[in-house]
Structure 1
Amino acid sequence: MGSHTKRHRRNRRLLALALAAGSTASLPPVTLSEDPHRPILPEQRCLEIRSPGQLCQVCVPVTPRPATVLDNQFDFPTSYLTLNEAINITLANSEVVRVLGGVTASTSGRTIYDAAITNTTIDAQRATFDPNLRLNNVWNQTESPNAVFDPLDPANAIIGGTQNEGYGLDFGLSKRNMLGGTSSLGVNSNTNRITPGIVPLNPADRTTTELSYTQPFLQGAGRVVNQAPIVLARIDTERSYFQYKSAVQQSVQGVIEAYWSLVFAKTDLWARRQQVEQADFANTRTEARIAAGDANAGDLAQSQLALENFRASLLASEANVLQRQAALLNMLGLPPYEAQRTIPVTPMAEELIEVDWAAINELAQRERPDIIELKLILEADQQRLLLADNQARPQLNGVALYRWNGLEGIAPSGNRIQSGSGDFEDWSLGVNFSVPLGLRAERASLRQRQLLITRDRANLDQGLHQMQHSLALSLRNLEQFFAQYERFQAVRQAARINLERQLAQYNEGIVQFIVVLQAIVDWGNSVSAEAQALSQYNTEISRLELQTGTILQTHNVVFFEERFRSIGPMGRLGEEPCYPRSLPPTASVDRYEGGSQPSEEYFDLEDPVAKRDAGASNLPNPVDLDREVEFQKVDETDSDEMTDEEIDEVLRKRSATRTLGDRIRGLFRR
């Protein structure tokens, strides 16, 4: 009844969503540009918000339902994937760079287009020094009425007027140079014809040609100051590139971590399955012992409880595999569903790498993108300080002008006359000075820039400090995980021997099931811990390369510039030159070994219960638990403690065969 009600409610919700979607889709599309056609537009007195269905709709890839714990799809066909292929697929699908965060991937906010977009600001700043052309043409006609006395009737007046037709040309060309000066060339021509009228020249054409130059001597003067905006644009482009590079480095490290995490999850899943099989086998044995009268109901309840707990752990392990597999697919840029299950096949590194502490510190301060960005921020601060220092100076400009004036026209006799070249010339020289008294705002800006440099130097020192601690942490983790891997190898061997012995004694009724249960837990945990330690060690190798800023170099990843055509200096009628478009990374990683079997198989996974009989001959001889232990009798009168030599002598005499601990240590000895 309860499940039927839940299904009914779920169907009602789905129906409501479908109706809502259908009603939204039926609405007519509305654009923001639709305004009423009125001479005066009305006021906006209400909120006009379009519904989501009226906005631009995009296509979502249609994929089957992804795997879940209720439909894990573990029986699907498999597809082997090496770590080289995983990294190359990630780089090929990194138009928007993704980074790993826990069991999912998210966007880093960086794309392959960022550096090219910022690069356009360099030309925007250079445009300040481009020549500026001005050309204005004006045609006009003016007719002004005038009242005059009638010469034939002085008591009367007549209205007349003159017509003035004119044409004006204004041409100018100016350019600013790197020293801050501005050169200008100007040509002006004005032609006037007055009808009717008797004037000396009709039409008359006045022309002027002038050259001028303005040079600042204090504020705005100097090549370095005038080039500072261009240098700042270049620094911003470099910052954008290194921010993008940092995101790609994190992406490569993230896909490596996701790959090894999936290998560990699959190994842990195998161990949990073995625990379930062993617990199920022990439960079956308990039932048989109850039938034979060798066990009671309490033993059966205990074994069933243990079996269910192991099944719950198995379910959590299966969910972890699905989550890790989904995280890897997300990093690869692939949909959540895959027709063929991805199987990692690259073996993990099992050798301890040697790390030169001084060398990785030098590499990190030179190659880490975050340290490089702090250095670029300091360079930008220096350029802004130059600008602020220059702005804190008075305005002192030298001005020079030279002008040639000309006049030509038609006299009443019909002859065209004109002035001679160079007959009428103007010139001027001047020095202009202006300054805000006190320069309060400019001096405040200068102090601000000086303090910003001090702050950013402190940030760089802190960045180097944090860099060293991050390197030290990676180094400690690297050696810790490798040492734990070696220890957990020994623990796994000991746990397997312990499990086999406890199962054998339980089947003979010597020990209780709680001992077998603990042995099963210890063995499963030891397999999982060994795989986790090795996975963490391999992940930490990539993290150390990330901390040094060399993970792309060690994986042979470089960036290549893609270009595209756009409008050039000659305008839309000229040829379109090529400009930077994007910086995608190369997908040419071949650092890691391939493989012909799943990566977890390199852990020598085998069922200790199934292999117990086959490998019994290779195990130490069983210990006779019923054998009486002989003790050395010490005289009551002898109150002195035994020396170490006497204890060793007693142990040599009493240990005709090796102890169980010696046998285990012999198995673990390399």
Structure 2
Amino acid sequence: MALATATAGCGVFDRIKPGPHDTVASYHDDYAMRIEYPEVRTCSTSTTQAAEQAIEPMSLEDPSKIPALELSLEEAIQLAVQQSPVLRSIGGTIVANPQGAKTVYDPALAHANPLSGPEAALSAFDAQWTSALFWNKNDAPQNSPPAPPGFPAALLLQTLQQTAATSTNQLSKQTANGASFALRHNVNYLRTNQFVGFPSVYTGYLEAEWRQPLLQGSGTTFNRIAGPNSPIGQYNGVLIARVNEDVALADFEAAVVDLVADVEQAYWDLVVSYRILEANVKGRDAALQTFQYQQVRLEAGAGRSDEEAQAQSQYYQFRAQVEQSLGGTTGLYALEQKLRYLIGLPATDGRLIRPMTEPTDVRVVFDWESALGQALTRRVEVRRERFNVQKREMELTAARLNRRPQLDFLGLYRWRGLGDELISDKDGDRDNLYGSITGGNYQEWQAGIEFNMPVGLRQASVAFAHAKLNLQRERAVLAETELRISHDLSDAARQIALTHQLLETNYDRYQADLRQVDVLRRRYKDGTDNINFLLQAQRQVVTSESEFYRALTNYNVAIRDFHKQKGSLLAYNQVQLAEGQWAAGAYRDAYEVGRHLTPRIVSGETCMPRPLTSGPFDPAAPQASMVPVQGMPYQPASPSDVGEFLEATMIDEVN
């Protein structure tokens, strides 16, 4: 019937014609989804200033005519880790995914998390004070019979009139072994027109309660892991919160390692871009000389037009390579801007970064056993996964302890009182409430146990099985992480040997191509050889020189990768991780609290949980695992000399 009525009602409303309210647009139409600009307070920082001070970018300008900003690798890394609270990356994902950016605030945010931080977990053991005070007025007519003849009508209650007040106060405290204590004080006031001993009376009591879990929820181990009164399967205790904070610190350290690796990558990329530009400029100048020489021969009637066209084509080919190595996506200016972003400088400020740290060409041999041992113990990924395993072990312990019935001991003691006044100097038993309570004439107590057990303990058993599976999973992930690290370290060691061998091979190839160009140039000028061989040799020497510089940079990147894989990249680049300065009030509070905290003399009588860590760990501590041996005889030119070379060899466009 209800369904039929509703259907009929809908049909009636469908036949109602639209009114003015259906045709006139509302004031709020298209208002909620309107695009607006946010109004927020912003402050000027070095990062915002760097964004606002960028000038027009460079594309094909002569690098030798741009003021140089000489920068070493150590200085670049220092600028990168000190300039901004956001840990930058080469990809620049901060715009597309700002929530995924790593910052220096992340460890502090994990500590100050109001839901899962250590302070939030400790707050469960804080004393709780609750208080309430209410007044109410009752004025209700009563269903009283008529007064019999001769009976005073005033004695019959026709209307119930009461004025009441209630005050409740409680101080409760949760302890680490699961016990809870409470001290309560209740005061009730009642003024009524009923026939009672005191028309205006105060009643109340003072009681103390102690509840002690004997099975489920008992013990310091469970309460420090899961937290007091935690539901089955939820673990938010102090020890879990501490491990979560350690994991956040490990994530921050991993982000710093990635930042340092990105800065070093960008630095060596900039170094090789200078060298490749130098090689292309030399190839362009050699092609220009060949082209001009062929023009002279053609004008003198000794040359051929096809050879002159080939020389001209090769000149423009090298010229395009110079322009590409300057303003291309992998050119000098693009790679210099990438390094600028990582170290927090404006995209362009009228200066050009000149790397001052020379890439090493010395053969470095690492001790494999030492490096492997360091990688399996010092890598931040291994330490982070070990913390996760430790967390799962504690959760399994709490789940096992929680698979028990609930059995609580309850003890309560109460002092009651009653009086027509709240406080008075009279000595009567019921003259005032507090005198009656403190007199101790009315005392009550209660003691007993409460038992509660879900038949079968299904939820607790499932939580125990879930915790066991989580532990097995984390242990498997830890083992796989160690295996992956050993493979990555092996690849990094192989790359060191390979890149150094390629460095020597490409150097020998470069020297051979130089000798070939000298021979073919003399033979071409003597007229005993074709120009094609000379042009091909000029292209080969530029290619071999560029490959040699790339091999030199790849070797230095391989050394960086090896340090990263074995967990010593921060020490290799002299980067230290330390906690920032506290507020002045925090130091004062720590000093005052520390005065009241003294260690126990007899340590054997102190019951302490198993420590979570083995002590402090310094990821930036130096580790000796490499031995430099004799290097190759090549000494690369200083990058600061590239500007002088370009200034001397830059040639204007040929008309």
Is TM-score (shorter-chain normalized) higher than 0.5? yes
Per-residue deviation, 1:364: 1.4
Of stretches 165-174 and 500-509 in structure 1, the one that deviates more from structure 2 is 165-174
Contact 2:169 2:184 in 1 (8 A): yes
Match of 2:512 in 1: 494
Match of 2:628 in 1: none
Match of 1:48 among 32, 57, 63: 32
Answer 1 or 2: which has greater strand percent.
1
2:125 is the counterpart of 1:129? yes
2:314 is the counterpart of 1:330? no
Match of 1:90 in 2: 80
Please show how residues 169-248 of structure 1 align to structure 2 within 5 Å. 169-195=167-193, 199-228=196-225, 229-248=237-256
Contact 1:345 1:597 in 2 (8 A): no
Match of 2:58 among 63, 67, 86: 67
What is the identity, as a one-letter code, of the residue corresponding to 1:61?
E
C-alpha distance in 2 between matches for 1:466 and 1:596: 36
C-alpha distance in 2 between matches for 1:392 and 1:43: 60
Match of 2:101 among 105, 109, 114: 109
Match of 1:351 in 2: 362
2:265 is the counterpart of 1:257? yes
CA deviations on 1:199-222 (whole Å, 9 max, x unpaired) are 323432222121111111222111
What is the identity, as a one-letter code, of the residue corresponding to 2:110?
T
2:490 is the counterpart of 1:472? yes
Match of 1:373 among 376, 381, 384: 384
What is the identity, as a one-letter code, of the residue corresponding to 2:33?
I
- Cα distance change on mapping 1:407 and 1:156 into 2, 3 Å: closer
C-alpha distance in 2 between matches for 1:249 and 1:398: 53
Match of 2:429 among 417, 436, 445: 417
Per-residue deviation, 1:133: 0.9
Per-residue deviation, 1:223: 0.7
Calculate the TM-score normalised by the size of structure 1.
0.74
Contact 2:570 2:619 in 1 (8 A): no
C-alpha distance in 2 between matches for 1:135 and 1:72: 78
Per-residue deviation, 1:190: 1.7
CA deviations on 1:596-644 (whole Å, 9 max, x unpaired) are 984275999899x99xxxxxxxxxxxxxxxxxxxxxxxxxxxxxxxxxx
2:287 is the counterpart of 1:295? no
Unpaired runs of 5+ residues, structure 1, are 1-41, 576-584, 590-594, 611-670
C-alpha distance in 2 between matches for 1:203 and 1:104: 70
C-alpha distance in 2 between matches for 1:368 and 1:169: 60
C-alpha distance in 2 between matches for 1:448 and 1:140: 52
What is the identity, as a one-letter code, of the residue corresponding to 1:444?
V
Contact 1:557 1:586 in 2 (8 A): no
How many residues end up aligned between the 2 structures?
Answer: 546
C-alpha distance in 1 between matches for 2:619 and 2:179: 46
Please show how residues 647-658 of structure 1 align to structure 2 within 5 Å. none
Contact 1:181 1:216 in 2 (8 A): yes
Q: Which secondary structure does the structure 2 equivalent of 1:354 belong to? A: strand
2:590 is the counterpart of 1:599? no
Match of 1:279 in 2: 287
- Cα distance change on mapping 1:335 and 1:257 into 2, 3 Å: same
Q: Which secondary structure does the structure 1 equivalent of 2:34 belong to? A: coil
Please show how residues 412-451 of structure 1 align to structure 2 within 5 Å. 416-418=428-430, 419=436, 421-451=439-469
Match of 1:646 in 2: none
Unpaired runs of 5+ residues, structure 2, are 1-25, 43-47, 226-236, 431-435, 594-617, 623-634, 651-655
Contact 1:99 1:105 in 2 (8 A): no
Identity %: 23
Calculate the TM-score normalised by the size of structure 2.
0.75
Per-residue deviation, 1:519: 1.1
C-alpha distance in 1 between matches for 2:262 and 2:53: 27
- Cα distance change on mapping 1:272 and 1:300 into 2, 3 Å: same
Per-residue deviation, 1:553: 2.1
C-alpha distance in 1 between matches for 2:218 and 2:167: 33
2:563 is the counterpart of 1:533? no
CA deviations on 1:132-152 (whole Å, 9 max, x unpaired) are 112222233333444564678
Match of 1:543 in 2: 561
Q: Which secondary structure does the structure 2 equivalent of 1:562 belong to? A: coil
Contact 1:105 1:330 in 2 (8 A): no
Per-residue deviation, 1:313: 2.0
Per-residue deviation, 1:559: 2.4
C-alpha distance in 1 between matches for 2:264 and 2:221: 46
Of stretches 506-515 and 54-63 in structure 1, the one that deviates more from structure 2 is 54-63
Q: Which secondary structure does the structure 2 equivalent of 1:214 belong to? A: strand
- Which of these two proteins has the greater Rg computed from alpha carbons? 1
Per-residue deviation, 1:46: 6.7
Match of 2:164 among 160, 163, 166: 166
CA deviations on 1:263-295 (whole Å, 9 max, x unpaired) are 111101110111111111111222222233333
